[in-house]
Amino acid sequence: MATVLLSSLHTSLLSLTKSRFRPHIISCSAPKPSHRTRRDLILLGLSSSLPIIFASPASRAEEEVKMASVVDEINAYTYMYPLELPSQKFVFKWVESRKPERYSSAAPLSPDARLRIVSERIDIIDNLVISVSIGPPNFQIIKSKDKSSWTAKDVADSVLSDKSALRVTSTQRMAESSVLDTHCSEIDGEPYWYYEYLVRRSPTKTVQASNLYRHNVASTVERDGYLYTLNASTLSKEWDKMGPALEKTVASFRLLPSTDNYVPPYKDPWRFW
């Protein structure tokens, strides 16, 4: 039985990550490119301790990526993150800087505390960050409450408008970022919005060059009236090396069926433990 489950898991994940982030330009109203059942999502969660190597012939820069998965039952999502680039003899040095926690007790990304980080892992040596944040849509940007009409650009602007620790306006926060690419894919009947952007602020204290930005890729999906976003980033000068692996991480982000451990963002908003 275990052999059958692992074989099915490997097939599902290999299909999911064969292509890079950018080519998945599929309209949310278009036919689904593939059908992944709830069983596939649960199988994806079973791999949390199982590293898997993905091979892709499309680019030499992404010949192999050894990855493992994260499952957050509190917020009911999963994703894969890179462990190693065997062909380059490169090993990632991840540290779980924020363990998964409920929305009410999570760290805010802006003074109004709308957008909050519910989990995060970082590689300090290589300047890599993977985080998951949750927050309500900004209806000053997204005009409709019907998510089937939302564009990836509007969703990106909504998330980025709340993503700043500075006491500035939403417009000023958006001006800190330049969106390079957006698209939407429908998976299991739910729209997932993907976007790629640069952050203009100096990414490190040691590097003050004004032309050195932080390169980000992100995936956002809506549930219970909140936007769930996985964001992966590195320094712009490292994008050619790190970008393909981070794109695979973003492409693997999925909501999971809720369990008894799931805590919706709207539950006990006053609770901080």
More confidently predicted of 167 and 220: 220
Q: Are 42 and 256 in contact (CB under 8 A)?
A: yes
Greatest extent of the chain over all pairs of C-alpha atoms, in Å = 56
Q: What is the pLDDT of residue 193?
A: 98
For residues 249 and 98, what is the distance between their CA atoms, to the nearest angstrom? 18
Structure tokens at 57: 């012939």
pLDDT tens-digit series, residues 37-50: 433 433 444 334 44
Query: pTM, whole model, 2 decimals?
Result: 0.76
Check whether 216 has a pLDDT greater than 80.
yes
Q: What is the pLDDT of residue 213?
A: 87
Q: What is the pLDDT of residue 70?
A: 96
Residue 145 in 3-state DSSP? Answer: coil
36 backbone dihedrals φ, ψ, rounded to 5°? -110, 120
CATH topology assigned to domain 66-255: Protein Transport Mog1p; Chain A (3.40.1000)
Model confidence at 208, in pLDDT bands (50, 70, 90)? low
Q: What is the pLDDT of residue 48?
A: 42
Q: Are 35 and 47 in contact (CB under 8 A)?
A: no
Q: Average pLDDT, whole number, for the chain?
A: 77
Domain boundaries, given as residue ranges, for the chain: 66-255
Q: Are 165 and 115 in contact (CB under 8 A)?
A: no
Model confidence at 109, in pLDDT bands (50, 70, 90)? low
Task: Go through the chain and tell me how many residues it has.
Answer: 273
Check whether 229 has a pLDDT greater than 80.
yes
Q: What is the pLDDT of residue 54?
A: 44
Residue 43 in 3-state DSSP? Answer: helix
More confidently predicted of 146 and 32: 146
Check whether 3 has a pLDDT greater than 50.
no
Q: What is the pLDDT of residue 118?
A: 95
Model confidence at 228, in pLDDT bands (50, 70, 90)? very high
